Structure 1
Amino acid sequence: MVRRVIVEKYNPRWITLYEAEAERLRKLLSDNLLEIHHIGSTAIPGLSAKPIIDIMSVVRDILAVDLLQKTFEQAGYLYFGEYDIPGRRFLVRGTAEMRLAQVHIFGISSPDIKRHLAFRDYLRVHPEAAAEYSSLKTSLAEKFPLDIDAYIGGKSGFVKDLEAKALKWYRQNPQY
C-alpha cells in the first residue's frame, strides 16, 4: 500500500469537516466523552496540511473505548488500538490509502492531551512558526510524494523542537 503525500494550502472547509466528524464521535462515544478538539495542521488557519482531519477526543474511561471497536468499524472507522502511543486509541475514517480523518482518543489523565493542545495553540498564535512549519511540510511533500515515512522523518526534529517550545509557552499562558 502506498499512501501519497499530498500537502495542500489551508482550506477553511476543514473546519466544517471537523465539525461533522466531531458530531459522529459525540454520538459514538456518548457519555464517556468529556472533550473533543480539532488538532493537527488542519486546525491551524493558514497552515498547509495533508487534507486529513485530526481529532482528539478525551474520555473518562479509555478501556471502555475498546468495547466500542465493532461499533466504530460499523460506522466506517478502521480501529488500530494504541498504535505506538500507550494509552491512546487511534482510529482512521476512510481507507488505509486515503484517510479522511484520524481520531486520537485519550483518557482524561493522559499527558498527550496537553502536548496536542499546546502544539495547536502555539502555532495559532505564532504565525512565523506556522509559516516555517508550512514551508517544511510543502517541501517534504514535493521531495517524498510516495514515501510517507521519509516525509514524517523529515519533519520529526522540527516537530519535537516545536513541541518543547509550545509546552513551555503553554505553561506560561494558562489562558489557552
Structure 2
Amino acid sequence: MRKVEVVPHNPKWRDVFDVESKSVADALGENVVNVHHIGSTAIQGIYAKPIIDLLVEVKDIIKVDGQSSSMESLGYEVMGEFGIPGRRYFRKDNQEGVRTHHIHAFKVTSEQVKRHLAFRDYMIEHPEDAQRYSELKRRLAREYSTNIDGYMDGKDGFIKEMDMKAVQWRTLQTVQQPAT
C-alpha cells in the first residue's frame, strides 16, 4: 500500500526531469521524437506527488516494446498499455521502494500527446485553475492518504473539466497565431 502524499513544488524537479529525459532518450534511441515534462511537477507553484512524469513521443510505438530491456536497465518496470490504448507505460521506484518516475510513451501523432501538453500548458498559463487543482489534491491526499484509487477518482471530474478548457484554450491560441 502506497501512501498518498502531495508536497509543495520543488524547483529541483526540473533538473531531475532533465537528467532522466536524457537517459530515457538514450535508452529508446532514434525512435524518440521528443520528451516532455508533464504532470503536476511540471507546474510551478502547486502541490504535487513527488513523482516526475515524462511524456515520450516516439515514431513507432510498437518499437518501444522491443526496447523494454533498455528501460528495465534504467530501473523501470514495464507495464504495457496499462489501461490507455496506444500507450506504453513505465514506472520506477528508488531503492527504498518509493515511486520516483512515470513514463507515458505515445506515437507522435497521438491525441493523448496533445491532451497532456494542452493540460500542462493551460495550467501554467492559468494559475487560478492550477491553484484550485493544488487545493483539490491537498484535500484528497488528506482524505485518501492510503487509497490511491480514491485520490485518483477524486481528481477525475476536475481533470476532465480542465481538459475541456485546455482544448478550447489551445484552439484559441492556434487561431490567434499570426501567419508566417
Q: If the length of structure 1 is used for normalisation, what is the TM-score?
A: 0.96
In the alignment, is residue 17 of structure 1 matched against residue 16 of structure 2? yes
* Corresponding residue SS for 2:128: helix
Equivalent pairs, count: 174
**Letter paired with 2:57:** V
1:51 to partner: Cα distance: 0.1
Q: Within 2, Cα distance between the matches of 1:21 and 1:167?
A: 28
Alignment partner, residue 74 of structure 1: 73
**Letter paired with 1:17:** V
Alignment partner, residue 169 of structure 1: 169
* Corresponding residue SS for 1:171: helix
| Aligned ranges 1:1-176 → 2 under 5 Å | 2-94=1-93, 98-174=98-174
**Letter paired with 2:160:** K
Q: Within 1, Cα distance between the matches of 2:12 and 2:142?
A: 23
1:172 to partner: Cα distance: 1.0
Q: If the length of structure 2 is used for normalisation, what is the TM-score?
A: 0.94
1:159 to partner: Cα distance: 0.6
Q: Within 2, Cα distance between the matches of 1:114 and 1:17?
A: 23
1:84 to partner: Cα distance: 0.4
**Letter paired with 1:136:** L
* Corresponding residue SS for 1:122: helix
* Corresponding residue SS for 1:56: strand
Could you list the runs of 5+ residues in structure 1 that have no partner in the other structure? Answer: none
1:153 to partner: Cα distance: 0.6
Q: Within 1, Cα distance between the matches of 2:60 and 2:153?
A: 32
**Letter paired with 1:86:** P
**Letter paired with 1:124:** I
1:75 to partner: Cα distance: 1.8
1:75-121 CA deviation, whole Å, 9 max, x = no partner? 210000100000000001116x5210000000112100000000000
Q: Within 1, Cα distance between the matches of 2:133 and 2:74?
A: 33
1:48 to partner: Cα distance: 0.6
* Corresponding residue SS for 1:57: strand
